[in-house]
């Protein structure tokens, strides 16, 4: 056993487990965070999808020894807090479109969707049909059409990343500089 620490849903946590225990079991069995679901345990079904430092990952496939103390892991439980609301816009869209059937795959679907939209936004574009085609989350209930509808709706309400301000000289500033004899 050895000590491991990281940030989970905004709070620092510390656990004492063997290095080869995978993060999914640390979350579910040690920390009691059961939003990430166990499906295949092999990085295939995506039921466990959560975020590490804002990007989607499969905790079933990552041993705890690979997690650094500065890593920020977010599960579906911590998703609303990332936007300071009771529900993340993607979760609200999921409810609005009545996506879930049995519900088992849905936390993973939502976490993948949010990471996908965030990545598209970082490139200043919207989620494309090609992005949706690449989604690998399995749903045994076949809710795929509603998932896609909800992603489009959730994307529309997700906060946009702030663009970096580029310094532009206003007319008044240019006039002032010209009066002082400095180049505008």
Binder of ligand FES out of 140, 169, 174, 176 (CB under 6 A)? 140
136 counts as binding ligand FES under rule CB under 6 A: no
Nearer to ligand FES, 117 or 139 (CB): 139
User: Strand 55-57 relative to strand 50-52: parallel, antiparallel, unpaired?
Assistant: antiparallel
DSSP codes of every residue in 2-26: EEEEEEETTEEEEEEE-TTSBHHHI
Collapse the DSSP code of 55 into the 3-class scheme (helix H, G, I; strand E, B; otherwise coil) and give the result.
strand
Question: Which residues neighbour 113 within 8 Å (Cβ) at sequence distance 6 or greater?
Answer: 90, 135, 147, 150, 151, 154
CB count within 10 Å of CB 117 equals: 21
Nearer to ligand FES, 4 or 22 (CB): 22
**Nearest 5°: CA angle at 52, between 103 and 38?**
35
Nearer to ligand FES, 43 or 80 (CB): 43
63 counts as binding ligand FES under rule CB under 6 A: no
Residue 150 C-beta: closest distance to ligand FES, Å: 12
User: Strand 72-74 relative to strand 50-52: parallel, antiparallel, unpaired?
Assistant: antiparallel
48 counts as binding ligand FES under rule CB under 6 A: yes
122 counts as binding ligand FES under rule CB under 6 A: no
Nearer to ligand FES, 33 or 45 (CB): 45
DSSP-derived secondary structure letter, 84 = T
Nearer to ligand FES, 37 or 88 (CB): 37
141 counts as binding ligand FES under rule CB under 6 A: yes
45 counts as binding ligand FES under rule CB under 6 A: yes
104 counts as binding ligand FES under rule CB under 6 A: yes
Instruction: Give the residues lining the site for ligand FES (CB under 6 A).
Output: 38-41, 43-48, 58, 60, 100-106, 139-141, 143
């Amino acid at each position: 056993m050895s000590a491991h620490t990281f940030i989970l849903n905004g709070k620092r946590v510390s656990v004492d487990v063997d290095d080869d225990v995978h993060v999914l079991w640390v979350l579910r069995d040690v920390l009691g965070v059961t939003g990430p679901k166990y499906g295949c345990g092999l990085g295939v079904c995506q039921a466990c999808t959560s975020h590490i430092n804002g990007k989607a990952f499969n905790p079933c496939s990552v041993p705890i020894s690979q997690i650094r103390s500065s890593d920020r892991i977010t599960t579906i439980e911590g998703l609303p807090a990332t936007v300071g609301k009771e529900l993340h816009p993607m979760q609200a869209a999921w409810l609005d479109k009545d996506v879930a059937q049995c519900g088992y795959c849905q936390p993973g679907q939502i976490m993948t969707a949010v990471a996908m939209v965030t990545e598209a936004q970082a490139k200043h574009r919207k989620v494309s049909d090609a992005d949706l085609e690449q989604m690998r989350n399995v749903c045994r209930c076949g809710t795929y059409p509603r998932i896609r509808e909800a992603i489009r709706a959730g994307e529309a309400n997700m906060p946009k990343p702030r663009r970096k301000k580029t310094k532009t000289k206003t007319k008044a500033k240019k006039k002032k500089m010209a009066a002082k004899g400095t180049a505008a």
